Structure 1
Amino acid sequence: MKERRTISFKRFWSKLGPGLITGASDDDPSGIATYSQAGAKFGLSFLWTAILTYPLMISIQKMCARIGLVTSLGLTGIVKRNYPKPILWLLVLFSFPAITLNIGADIAGMGAVANMIVPQIPTFAFSFIFTIVIVVLVIWLPYYKIASTLKWLCLVLFCYLIVPFISKPGFVDVILHTFIPQFKFDKDFLLVLVGILGTTISPYLFFWQTAMEVEEKNHRKLIVDKTIIHDMEVDVNSGIFFSNLVFYFIILTTGSVLFNAGLHKIDTVDQAALALRPLTGELSYTLFTIGVIGTGFLAVPVLAGSLSYIISETFSWQEGLDKKFHEAHGFYIVLIISMGIALLINLTGVSPVQALIYTAVLYGITAPVLIAIILHVCNNKEVMGSYTNSRLSNFIGFTTLILMTAAAVLLIYLQFKN
Structure 2
Amino acid sequence: MNLSVIWQRIKHHPLSRVGPGLVTGVADDDPSGIVTYSQAGAQFGLNMLWTMPLAYPLMASIQVLCARIGRVTGRGLAANMKDAFSPPVLFLLVLMLLIANVLNIAADIAAMGEVAQLVTGVNWHIMTGVFVFLTLLLQILIPYRHYVFFLKWLSLSLLAYGAVLFTVHIPWSEVVWSTFFPSFTWNTDSAAVIVGIFGTTISPYLFFWQSSQEVEDMNLRHQSNLLNQSSESEAKTELRRIQWDTWSGMLYSNVAAYCIILATAVTLHATGVRDINTAAEAASALRPLAGEFAFLLFALGILGVGLMGVPVLAASAAYALSEVFGWRSSLEDSASQAGKFYSIIALSVLLALAIQYSPISPMKALFWSAVINGIVAVPLMVAIMVLSSKSSVMGSHTASWTMKMLGWGATGFMGLAAMYLFIA
The answer to whether TM tops 0.5 is yes
What whole-Å deviation, never above 9, does each CA across 1:56-84 have from its counterpart, x for those lacking one? Answer: 01100000000000111111111124421
Moved more, 295-304 or 81-90: 81-90
Moved more, 225-234 or 349-358: 349-358
Query: Where in structure 2 are the equivalents of 1:5-24 lying within 5 Å?
Result: 13=15, 15-24=17-26
- Report the CA distance between 1:140 and its aligned residue: 0.5
Moved more, 125-134 or 86-95: 86-95
Per the alignment, residue 222 of structure 2 pairs with: 221
CA distance in structure 2 between the aligned counterparts of 1:181 and 1:387, rounded to whole angstroms: 39
In the alignment, is residue 304 of structure 1 matched against residue 305 of structure 2? Answer: no
Q: Which amino acid aligns with 1:173?
A: E
Query: Where in structure 2 are the equivalents of 1:305-384 lying within 5 Å?
Result: 305-384=315-394
Per the alignment, residue 108 of structure 1 pairs with: 110
Per the alignment, residue 282 of structure 1 pairs with: 292
CA distance in structure 2 between the aligned counterparts of 1:27 and 1:39, rounded to whole angstroms: 15
Per the alignment, residue 58 of structure 2 pairs with: 56
Q: Which amino acid aligns with 1:285?
A: F
Per the alignment, residue 263 of structure 2 pairs with: 253
> In 2, are the aligned partners of 1:15 and 1:234 still within 8 Å (CA)?
no
Q: Helix, strand or coil for the counterpart of 2:48?
A: coil
What whole-Å deviation, never above 9, does each CA across 1:174-233 have from its counterpart, x for those lacking one? Answer: 001112244532111111000000000000000001010000111112344111111111
In the alignment, is residue 391 of structure 1 matched against residue 422 of structure 2? Answer: no
CA distance in structure 2 between the aligned counterparts of 1:81 and 1:410, rounded to whole angstroms: 30
> In 2, are the aligned partners of 1:16 and 1:234 still within 8 Å (CA)?
no
One of 223, 233, 251 as aligned partner of 2:243: 233
Q: Helix, strand or coil for the counterpart of 2:269?
A: coil
Query: Where in structure 2 are the equivalents of 1:153-302 lying within 5 Å?
Result: 153-223=154-224, 224=226, 225-302=235-312
CA distance in structure 2 between the aligned counterparts of 1:14 and 1:101, rounded to whole angstroms: 31
In the alignment, is residue 137 of structure 1 matched against residue 138 of structure 2? Answer: yes
CA distance in structure 2 between the aligned counterparts of 1:184 and 1:15, rounded to whole angstroms: 45
> In 2, are the aligned partners of 1:29 and 1:292 still within 8 Å (CA)?
yes
One of 91, 98, 101 as aligned partner of 1:99: 101
Moved more, 10-19 or 103-112: 10-19
> In 2, are the aligned partners of 1:15 and 1:231 still within 8 Å (CA)?
no
> In 2, are the aligned partners of 1:114 and 1:123 still within 8 Å (CA)?
yes
Q: Which amino acid aligns with 2:170?
A: P
Q: Which runs of 5+ in 2 are unaligned?
A: 1-8, 227-234
What whole-Å deviation, never above 9, does each CA across 1:302-334 have from its counterpart, x for those lacking one? Answer: 000001111111211111000001000000011
CA distance in structure 2 between the aligned counterparts of 1:100 and 1:214, rounded to whole angstroms: 24
Per the alignment, residue 70 of structure 1 pairs with: 72
CA distance in structure 2 between the aligned counterparts of 1:33 and 1:149, rounded to whole angstroms: 25
> In 1, are the aligned partners of 2:41 and 2:263 still within 8 Å (CA)?
yes
Q: Which amino acid aligns with 2:261?
A: I
- Report the CA distance between 1:367 and its aligned residue: 0.7
Q: TM-score, normalised by structure 2?
A: 0.93
CA distance in structure 2 between the aligned counterparts of 1:258 and 1:372, rounded to whole angstroms: 39
One of 45, 48, 51 as aligned partner of 1:46: 48
What whole-Å deviation, never above 9, does each CA across 1:127-167 have from its counterpart, x for those lacking one? Answer: 00110111011100011111100000000110000111211
CA distance in structure 2 between the aligned counterparts of 1:359 and 1:142, rounded to whole angstroms: 29
What whole-Å deviation, never above 9, does each CA across 1:92-111 have from its counterpart, x for those lacking one? Answer: 23111101000010000000
Residues 11/222 of structure 1: CA separation in 2 closer, same or farther (3 Å cut) = farther
- Report the CA distance between 1:15 and its aligned residue: 4.4
Q: Which amino acid aligns with 1:186?
A: N
CA distance in structure 1 between the aligned counterparts of 2:73 and 2:183, rounded to whole angstroms: 42
CA distance in structure 1 between the aligned counterparts of 2:337 and 2:262, rounded to whole angstroms: 46
> In 1, are the aligned partners of 2:157 and 2:301 still within 8 Å (CA)?
yes
Q: TM-score, normalised by structure 1?
A: 0.95
Per the alignment, residue 34 of structure 1 pairs with: 36
- Report the CA distance between 1:87 and its aligned residue: 2.4
CA distance in structure 2 between the aligned counterparts of 1:205 and 1:350, rounded to whole angstroms: 25
Q: CA RMSD in A?
A: 1.4
Per the alignment, residue 230 of structure 2 pairs with: none
One of 117, 120, 131 as aligned partner of 2:119: 117
Residues 21/71 of structure 1: CA separation in 2 closer, same or farther (3 Å cut) = same
CA distance in structure 2 between the aligned counterparts of 1:184 and 1:378, rounded to whole angstroms: 38
Moved more, 274-283 or 216-225: 216-225
> In 2, are the aligned partners of 1:17 and 1:235 still within 8 Å (CA)?
yes
CA distance in structure 2 between the aligned counterparts of 1:219 and 1:37, rounded to whole angstroms: 41
Task: Report how many aligned residue pairs link the two structures.
Answer: 405
In the alignment, is residue 127 of structure 1 matched against residue 137 of structure 2? Answer: no
Q: Which amino acid aligns with 1:248?
A: Y
What whole-Å deviation, never above 9, does each CA across 1:360-412 have from its counterpart, x for those lacking one? Answer: 11011111111100000011001100110111111111111111000010122
Q: Which amino acid aligns with 2:74?
A: S
CA distance in structure 2 between the aligned counterparts of 1:378 and 1:92, rounded to whole angstroms: 19
CA distance in structure 1 between the aligned counterparts of 2:290 and 2:192, rounded to whole angstroms: 28
Q: Which amino acid aligns with 2:62?
A: I
Per the alignment, residue 4 of structure 1 pairs with: none
CA distance in structure 2 between the aligned counterparts of 1:303 and 1:14, rounded to whole angstroms: 22
Q: Which runs of 5+ in 1 are unaligned?
A: 1-6
